[in-house]
Structure 1
């Protein structure tokens, strides 16, 4: 009898205790899961129970207090069916993903010729810019000008005249060789008569064209002849003028020069990259709200063209290219720390690359100071210091 009682006690203490422990853990896991459902019911209540009772603050406080407790409790006491459900969900996702991948592959194959056409279209920079400007001007004409015919064409012609005038004045201001003659070779003093005559005729043609153009514009605006259908509003002029100034190549070359006059140290001499990013971002942003407005007035074809060319194509390639350049520039300079004002004050030196004064600089591991843009250009060709020709080693 004593032996039997000991065996029964051993069995109860070992085997059945383990079985009861397992059952109790399963019960706890199921209870935790049911309680989690109960505590999550307020989120599914109609008309937002928590918001109705105490507003958004009560919902935020309830979320911060309850959700972490529920997650930790389910992690501490996981039910046995959790892994099975997760495995079934993964299998279902794999089965559903295969058709989507197949459809996506077909769409990519069908889009490949169109993508090549888009790239070829953007390579023709002048044509693509003029078409995007014409689409934007036409969209603004349809939305913002009442009883105005050909306002977009008048505006585009007027802006092109301004661009030609600005480019001609810029050419005169930056011109170094005022000699009307052309030498046979660079170091020769013998004049090439045919080329000299051609150069003189071209210069006089440019000057006469500039004078006639400015006179014609002034007479047209002053006498208002031929402008019966030209009635631009202030908003129309603001949108189209901004878009033109930020998309025309002549002005895109001038904005970095104007921005560099402010000498903003945060830009670190990369005004051209930032101006390209800002101009493309603003032009894309200006085109976005015109699309739903055109759709509201049932201008479906014009809305599609503006969406595709001015938003999608230019945003995908030109804005994407500007973002890529900015990221590459920041990435290449990320390892080089900025020089402190104390270091620049004690240094009193010039950049070894451009020989300009340094109000802001980057420091190499070999303790040499360069302008950020100068260092970025050097990194594009070599990974060694321009002064000591040592490879950059970062600790």
Structure 2
């Protein structure tokens, strides 16, 4: 009986100590959560308390010091209601799924979604940077669209290979199709006349300054809107990779298109972010919400996220192949067996063959074997 009493006492004492430990951990977690709220109050202070006291540097220093400590403390002592919040987040995510599908469908209409984002950003800059600007955003968007049309026409002329005004019945035939040839000639002349008239009209408008009473942009306005337009319009998104490819940067390894899209999406998202608090500061809440949702949340979550994912996948596909050293390239003096081009940088396969990273990546998309010796890749 005495032994049984002692065992019961030990069990009771252990249970009590566990209960006390649980309660003490709950207290610590609650204290950490309350302290986190207190330390995050400066971010919610009216008119930006930290920025008003010490400027943006104080805000940046405060963020770098406080936020990591808060995250680690809440991770070490999580409150009991954190799992409930996680479950609630899953419920919200499932409820948000229909809206997510609508966002993806909206982004599939690329021209419409891009134009609405541009119009939202231009209107925000109009309200913030132009005094009494009523139609500045519309004038700017129209001017940039005219510029885009002109650039697109010049690009088509530069890349055009078939200058013949006639259309043959078949590819190898010399017999001319009369109706199609006449249509082609009319279309080409129409494009040329439209281009000349457009350029003349723009030059006359800018030179005579007629009808521009409502168009009084500032230098900052033109810089922001012009940068956003050049990095979001599809015509220029097709031109920037060509310009970057002309630089022949070997470190990009033939991924100029992917990098340009990721950089363009990132810069446009960053340009739209400061417009939201600035609009809220000025009391333009509805426009601030629109810019936040369209240009920051939807654009950053889908377009920027997809661009970064493509870059990550492209880099990850060749990451297991090591880079060729300068001695290997100088010794072999080889050419890429895929594109037959000289190699200033290359990736080495386990079977000791060298290829351009971009060529190797395209081969990996269809096969996991070496394109030269047809052996499977085995890494040790």
Report if TM-score (shorter chain) is over 0.5.
yes
Deviation for aligned residue 1:165? 0.6
Q: Give 2:207's match in structure 1, choosing from 222, 235, 243.
A: 222
Q: 1:390 corresponds to which residue? A: 375
Larger Rg over CA atoms = 1
Within the alignment, does 1:194 sit opposite 2:179 as a pair? yes
Deviation for aligned residue 1:283? 0.3
Q: 1:158 corresponds to which residue? A: 143
Q: Give 1:113's match in structure 2, choosing from 98, 102, 105.
A: 98
TM-score by length of structure 2 reads 0.78
Q: 1:75 corresponds to which residue? A: none
Q: 2:169 corresponds to which residue? A: 184
Q: 2:237 corresponds to which residue? A: 252
- Matched positions, count: 311
* Structure 2 counterparts to residues 76-87 of structure 1, below 5 A: none
Within the alignment, does 1:369 sit opposite 2:354 as a pair? yes
Runs ≥4 residues deviating over 4 A: none
Within the alignment, does 1:294 sit opposite 2:282 as a pair? no
Q: 1:322 corresponds to which residue? A: 307
Q: 2:158 corresponds to which residue? A: 173
Q: Give 1:264's match in structure 2, choosing from 231, 242, 249.
A: 249
Deviation digits for residues 232-280 of structure 1 (CA, Å, limit 9, x no counterpart): 1000000001001111111111111111122212111211111111110
Deviation for aligned residue 1:109? 2.9
Within the alignment, does 1:231 sit opposite 2:216 as a pair? yes
Deviation for aligned residue 1:367? 0.9
Q: 1:12 corresponds to which residue? A: none
Deviation for aligned residue 1:97? 5.5
Q: Give 1:285's match in structure 2, choosing from 262, 265, 270.
A: 270
Q: Secondary structure at the match of 2:172?
A: coil
Relative to structure 1, the CA distance from residue 197 to residue 327 in structure 2 (aligned partners, 3 Å threshold; closer, same or farther) is same
Deviation for aligned residue 1:332? 0.9
Deviation for aligned residue 1:98? 6.0
Deviation digits for residues 103-136 of structure 1 (CA, Å, limit 9, x no counterpart): 3343223211111110000001111111101111
TM-score by length of structure 1 reads 0.75
CA RMSD, 1 decimal: 2.3
Q: Give 1:344's match in structure 2, choosing from 305, 329, 348.
A: 329
Q: 2:51 corresponds to which residue? A: none
CA distance in structure 2 between the aligned counterparts of 1:260 and 1:101, rounded to whole angstroms: 45
CA distance in structure 1 between the aligned counterparts of 2:90 and 2:368, rounded to whole angstroms: 40
Q: Give 1:140's match in structure 2, choosing from 125, 129, 153.
A: 125
Deviation for aligned residue 1:307? 0.3
Deviation for aligned residue 1:331? 1.1
CA distance in structure 2 between the aligned counterparts of 1:238 and 1:100, rounded to whole angstroms: 43
CA distance in structure 1 between the aligned counterparts of 2:223 and 2:369, rounded to whole angstroms: 48
CA distance in structure 2 between the aligned counterparts of 1:101 and 1:294, rounded to whole angstroms: 32
Q: Secondary structure at the match of 1:118?
A: helix
CA distance in structure 1 between the aligned counterparts of 2:86 and 2:206, rounded to whole angstroms: 60
Deviation digits for residues 309-354 of structure 1 (CA, Å, limit 9, x no counterpart): 0000010011100110111111111110000111111122221112
Q: 1:213 corresponds to which residue? A: 198
CA distance in structure 2 between the aligned counterparts of 1:141 and 1:355, rounded to whole angstroms: 52
Gaps of 5+ in 2: 1-16, 18-27, 29-34, 36-75
